[in-house]
Amino acid sequence: MEKARGDTTALKSPSGRRSTEHYKLPTDPVPRGAMMVSMKRILALISGRGTNLQSIAQACERERWAARLVAVVSDRVEAPGCALARGMGLPVHVISPADFPDRAQFQLALGERITRLDPDVVVLAGFMRILDPVIVERHAGRVLNIHPSLLPALPGLATHRRALEAGVRVHGATVHYVSAGVDTGPIIAQASLLVSDDDDEHSLAARVLAIEHELYPMALRWHLEGRLRLEGQRVRLDREALEELRACKT
């Protein structure tokens, strides 16, 4: 398959994909209260299956956010999430490190593409690259990530295997703002589960992923609605968001 730096071809949904074949992207501003609010632009970065991308898209439609997904950027042309995004009618931009002589040039191209797409918020939905500090600074307070552990515990990769090896009894997921460090940004929301004695790495990963699919859209919606206040390394939630978080399934 030919590699592309700016693949924006929209394809039909693959047959049998019940969860996306009827999805329609919102095109008009959504009334919230008595006012019409301009649609905020969400850009998603992915590297894999795109399940968090799908959960965000579905919540955006179901809950009628005053926002819309405008595009997806991937560092892997073969990522299954690219086909998923095209099936939802989203433009897909593939920026592969293999197309550049070094990491610096890749990051430069990635940063330029993000800026060109002009998002109000960037969501890392399984994007397996560390963003250059220049990108993070340019979009400070507007880049969100979800991590499969209860940060600050278990940053980095292989969190489920490491959780089991450490014998933790409580595990979960964290939504946070992205900073220049690895999984060190201000925490927005967390949800947890009890680790069962019969859990293995795959079963634990599946259970945490189910939490992610609820937690990430909720936290993103709070950001879009202006219900978060960033104070240094701490995120303040309004009362309604706190109540919603308490009711979040674990």
Active-site residues, by number, are: 147
Collapsing DSSP to helix, strand or coil, 118 comes out as coil
- The four Cα atoms 170, 175, 179, 182 give a dihedral, to 10 degrees, of 40
Contacts of 72 (CB under 8 A, 6+ apart): 43, 44, 45, 46, 50, 53, 81, 82, 85, 90, 91, 92, 93
CA–CA dist 35, 188 (Å, integer): 27
CA–CA dist 228, 221 (Å, integer): 10
CA–CA dist 37, 44 (Å, integer): 21
Residue 40 Cα distances to 32, 46, 74, 177, angstroms: 13, 20, 21, 18
